[in-house]
Amino acid sequence: MMDKTININLGGNLFQIDGDAFLILRDYLQAINNRFRNVQGGLETIEDIESRIAEIFQSQKGLAGVISKENVEAMISIIGKPEDFDISLDEEEPPVYTSHKRRLYRNPDDSIISGVCGGIGAYLNTDPVLFRILFVISALIFGTGFFIYLVLWIALPQAYTDNQKKELFGNINYSTRLQGRQSDSPLKSGSSVYNTAYSNKPGANNAFNEIVRAIGKVFYIALRIFLIIFGVLFVITGFLFILSFIMVFVFKYPGAFSTDNFDMSLNYFPDFLNYIVSPAVAPWIIALTSIVVILPMLALIYWGVKMIFWFRARDGVFSLIGLVLWVLCITALALILFNEGISFAETARSSTQKILSNTPDTLYIMTGEKISNLNVDKELSINEEGYSVYINETDKELYIRPYLNINTSDGDETRIEVRKRSSGRSELDALRKTEELSYNYSINGDTILLDEYFKISGERKWAADNVGINLYIPEGTFIKIDNDSGSLFHNRNYRRNRYYSGSERWTSGDRLYLLTKNGLKSINL
């Protein structure tokens, strides 16, 4: 009757065993399990004994032969029944039952490079080829796959022991996987060796227990799904950030950062840095900023991967080193920025005025020197109000648009005021810096020629400089503004004016205005 053979896995080896021999073996393993499962370190003992049984079977039959009843009995006489063991064991608290937990390991039995894909495949009960393909494809996308693979290779331990393999495959999967295709064995499946040997819940059939366990499992699965979703989000966020950062700072491509609200062209920021801080510290600032930004993103990616695959890793030391490095970098960066920031501590203004000799009915505001005629390498727009810095790398000159204000004059005179503003370590320093701003305009009859930019030259660093042109014009004067001068017209006062809504952009062509009590009134030409 018991002439069928069953495939079982013992101590990592696959054996064929006769049906009746299997029953004896099962009872024997059950007895060993009963004896040791509540002893401290008992699971390890059970494993050791299983490995020894496998060794004995192997020496009896080799890997190919079928284990007979006699073989099993001979094995039992060598190892002995648990009651024959000459030991007194202190019965202790049952050890934490761990074998149902799933953990990700590298799978040495199914590896091409390091067993990472084999491990993932085993863990998710899927063909590893799928993950191999995924890794190769994703490696083509900025090397993402390559990077993840490397992290996993370093972080994942290899599954050495039988117990680790059980954690990797899951108990049932592991034994059924090794069991082969034979499913109509007398005891349903060979996995019952593990099912009986590793189940230490005698009252498991109790319906209440079943329900509680089912609910627990649902929660556990929900938690895992939750963690996987968060892990994926973490990984994606981390990668996007690093990618954006690299694009902006290395490839100077603003794409990832530019939105409608945030159009400061960060792409030239690293170059502009040389004009804000002393050139010696600029590379340091960039390097430290890179570390300060990228390090947490790497950690985020790592945590994400860890959450997705739910693995344990000895990463404490790395985390600590990373954290210390990060704190050091951020401290150094803060010190440098503080030191550099001091030169922006105080601001000062200086202004010069000129009164026009005649008071024209129509005042023409024209553009003198134009930015478009300049030799400009880079443009960095600092804010939405149109404050842009134009950089001439060869002459080390910066050009910035001044802003133009048109105000109603108290008296009958037409007046032009140029206000310069700079920042410095002290007020005196700031005041001195305002003198280094050169802005040119000229008055020619009833025409005012305004340069479109003011200049900072001689390798002088940027000090939040600004120049404002205030025109004081008597009420009732017509004002004709040409296109380029009109673009200087970006000050808030002007926008607040009801005749000109802020959303209205300066369109090309000259404009005619009448200065009224309430400000400028647009007159259609």
Q: How many CA atoms lie within 13 A of 124 on its CB side?
A: 16
- Rounded to a whole number of angstroms, the minimum distance from the CB of residue 85 to another protein is 5
**For residues 88 and 261, which CB has a smaller minimum distance to another protein in the complex?**
88
Nearest distance from C-beta of residue 91 to another protein, angstroms? 12
Q: Where are the alpha helices (DSSP H) in 458-519?
A: 483-486, 492-496
Amino acid found at 310: W
**CB nearer another protein, residue 58 or residue 111:** 58
In the numeric block, the tokens 């050139």 are attached to 279
Q: Min. distance of Cβ 79 from another protein in angstroms?
A: 4
Pick between residue 78 and residue 113 the one whose CB is nearest to another protein.
78
Cα distances (Å, whole numbers) of residue 233 to 11, 227, 308: 39, 10, 10
User: Is the CB of 46 or the CB of 305 nearer to another protein?
Assistant: 46
Q: What is the nearest approach in angstroms of another protein to the Cβ of residue 202?
A: 22
Closer to another protein by CB, 40 or 138: give it: 40
- Closest by alpha carbon to 45, among 104, 102, 85, 101? 85
Cα 17 to the center of its chain, rounded Å: 53
Q: How far apart are CA 424 and CA 296, in angstroms?
A: 34
Structure tokens given for 378: 């880079």
DSSP H or E run through 352: strand 346-355
Residue among 54 and 418 whose Cβ is closer to another protein:
54
Contact of 239 with 296, CB cutoff 8 Å = no
The nearest distance, CB 58 to another protein, in angstroms, is: 6
For the packed helices 144-155 and 282-309, what is the interaxial angle rounded to 10 degrees? 70
Burial of 29 per CB tally in 10 Å (0-12, 13-18, 19+) = buried
**519 phi-psi bin (left φ>0, alpha ψ -120 to 50, beta other):** left
Q: How far is the CB of 316 from another protein (least distance, A)?
A: 22
- Rounded Cα–Cα distance for residues 314 and 440 (Å): 66
- 28 versus 453: smaller Cβ distance to another protein: 28
* Residue reference for tokens 């603003």: 254
The nearest distance, CB 12 to another protein, in angstroms, is: 4
Decide whether 84 or 184 has the Cβ nearer to another protein.
Answer: 84
Rounded Cα–Cα distance for residues 139 and 130 (Å): 14
CA 425 to chain centre: 37
**Residue 46 beta carbon to another protein: minimum distance, rounded to whole angstroms:** 8
Q: Locate tokens 């006699």: which residue?
A: 70
Cβ atoms within 10 Å, residue 47: 17
Nearest CB to another protein, comparing residues 159 and 479 = 159
Closer of 81 and 188 to another protein (Cβ): 81
Distance CA 506, CA 484 (A): 9
CB 39 → another protein: shortest distance, Å? 7
Per DSSP, which regions of 356-445 are E strands?
362-367, 378-381, 388-392, 397-400, 403-408, 415-424, 437-438, 441-444
Shortest Å distance, C-beta 61 to another protein = 12
Look up residue 233 and give its two tokens: 């989000």
Q: Rounded to the nearest whole angstrom, what is the least distance from the CB of residue 63 to another protein in the complex?
A: 7
Q: Which is nearer to another protein, 92 or 393 (CB)?
A: 92
Q: How far apart are CB 29 and another protein at their closest, in Å?
A: 12
Contacts of 172 (CB under 8 A, 6+ apart): 191, 194, 195
Angle 92-93-97 from CA coordinates, rounded to 5°: 125
Contact residues for another protein (CB under 8 A)? Answer: 11-13, 32, 36, 39-42, 44-45, 48-49, 51-52, 54-55, 58, 63, 77-82, 84-89, 160-162
Shortest distance in whole angstroms from residue 318 CB to another protein: 24
- Of residues 58 and 144, the one with the C-beta less far from another protein: 58
CA–CA dist 297, 141 (Å, integer):
18
Which of residues 105 and 149 has its CB atom nearest to another protein in the complex?
105
